[in-house]
Amino acid sequence: MTRKELIEVIRRVLNMTTETDDEGDGKEHEVLPGSSLKEDLLMTSFSFMLLSAELEEKLGRELDPELFRDTETVEDLYQRISSLQSDKDAGRIR
């Protein structure tokens, strides 16, 4: 999964869980590699649940919920997913 693909998945989840961005102008959420998942993007436990389901579908693998623990930014999540994708022997991504 590329950074761009991850950002699109996150943006899709945010659009499912919120109606507009913080300014209320109807523009899509600005999702950058340095964006904090909780503080900048205001992701909730429900958002993380949807994100996990979307990522599992996209990756074709089950994700361990611990993947999101201590993951602060979009880049952190990308790095974790990238390292998991390189682990071909794992039956369950951790």
Instruction: Tell me which residue of 85, 38, 42 sits closest to 93, measured CA to CA.
Output: 85
pLDDT digits (tens, 9 = 90+) for 45-93: 999 999 999 999 998 989 988 888 889 999 999 999 988 877 644 454 4
d(CA 14, CA 89): 32
Domain, as residue range, for 16:
3-85
Does residue 93 lie in a domain region? no
Q: Is residue 67 part of a domain?
A: yes
Evaluate whether residue 92 is within a structural domain: no
Q: What is the pTM of this model?
A: 0.76
Structural domains of the chain, count: 1
Tell me, yes or no, whether 90 lies in a domain: no
Specify if 11 maps to a domain: yes
Q: What is the CATH number of the domain that holds 78?
A: 1.10.1200.10
